[in-house]
Amino acid sequence: MSILIANWKMNPGTEAEAKAMAKYSDQEGVVVCGPLVFLALLKKTLKRAAIGAQDVFWVNGRGPYTGAVSASQLKDLGVEYVIIGHSDQRRYFKETDGEVAKKAAAVIEAGLVPVLCLGETREEREAGQTQEVVDRQLKAVLSQLPEVKKKARLIVCYEPVWAISGNAAGAGLAELAVSQAPEVAVEMIRYMKRVSESFNVDLNFIYGGSAGAENIDALLKQEEIEGFLVGAASLSKRDFEYMVAACRKR
Ligand code: 13P
């Protein structure tokens, strides 16, 4: 089965809705990344799916950092995966490559798996900088990996910012996101595989950006893509269940 990671972002609005979503998402091979406020509920409700968080602070353990949550605190709650470097964090919270690298190191040190999001914006794509951006964002993290006893595992999600559903719809790029992003993804994953060969890390490469029920079958034909990070479609029972079934057939 391909890796299927649901990124609920700042959804849903209530605990009752979160419970209903957790139920239909509770499938083997799925990771549910809910907002912090629902992680305890996910722990109680999920029997088959794993739990993921959407962000973390770069200091492990505990300390005087108002508003922050550490990887070790997440681990204690039953979290196994942590999204880092999402374009929402880079854009709204001005997260830098250096901070993403520190977060990845903290997550690995705590024994969790970082899900590193990277990818170019629409402007960067139009300026022909896709590979340059991917290269910079990936190497920033790989070059700062901590020494750990067991080989570190990292999931890298190529997620072109322009292909993310909200951005794509707003900019009239929805068609392009569905038709072209998978091709770019394959090219970028091949590139990232080459770049990461010299680093001592166990990597999986997944894709994010308007992945949904209508294009999952086509995406699954690309064998370089080992899984998906799913935003909007993970909020719909019908769409997400379809995606789980499709990923299971692979
Ligand atoms: P969409 O699946 O809604 O395009 O979101 C992608 C994403 O940002 C997942 O992290």
Average pLDDT, the chain: 95
Instruction: Take residue 60 and report the two structure tokens written for it.
Output: 């492990």
Identify the CA nearest to 155 among candidates 141, 173, 166: 141
**CA–CA distance, 150 with 185 (Å, rounded to integer):** 29
Ligand 1 pocket test: pick from 54, 115, 157, 165 the residue with the most ligand atoms within 8 Å of its Cβ. Answer: 165
**CA–CA distance, 95 with 87 (Å, rounded to integer):** 9
Q: Is the dihedral of CA 196, 216, 6, 87 positive or negative?
A: positive
- Annotated active-site residue 120? The verdict is no
pLDDT at 61: 96
Ligand 1 pocket test: pick from 164, 175, 216, 225 the residue with the most ligand atoms within 8 Å of its Cβ. Answer: 164
pLDDT at 149: 82
210 lines ligand 1 (CB under 6 A): yes
pLDDT at 174: 80
The pTM score is 0.96
pLDDT at 183: 87
160 lines ligand 1 (CB under 6 A): no
pLDDT at 177: 78
45 lines ligand 1 (CB under 6 A): no
Identify the CA nearest to 9 among candidates 30, 25, 33, 27: 33
- Annotated active-site residue 86? The verdict is yes
Report, as ranges of residue numbers, the positions in the chain whose pLDDT lies below 70.
none
Q: Of all atoms in ligand 1, which is nearest to the CA of residue 168?
A: 4
7 lines ligand 1 (CB under 6 A): yes
Q: Of all atoms in ligand 1, which is nearest to the CA of residue 83?
A: 10
pLDDT at 175: 82
Residue labelled with tokens 């970082």: 114
Atom 9 (ligand 1): residue with closest C-alpha?
231
Decide the pairing of beta strands 227-230 and 79-84.
unpaired
119 lines ligand 1 (CB under 6 A): no
**Burial readout 94-120 (b: 16 or more C-beta within 10 A, e: otherwise):** ebebebbbbbbbbbbbbebbbbbbbbb
Cα(161) to centroid of ligand 1, in Å? 9
In the chain, the largest separation of any two C-alpha atoms, in whole Å, equals: 48
Q: Kind and range of the H or E element at 71?
A: helix 71-76
Atom 7 (ligand 1): residue with closest C-alpha?
231
User: Between 130-142 and 181-196, two packed helices, what is the crossing angle to 10 degrees?
Assistant: 40
pLDDT at 250: 78
Q: Of all atoms in ligand 1, which is nearest to the CA of residue 212?
A: 2
pLDDT at 14: 98
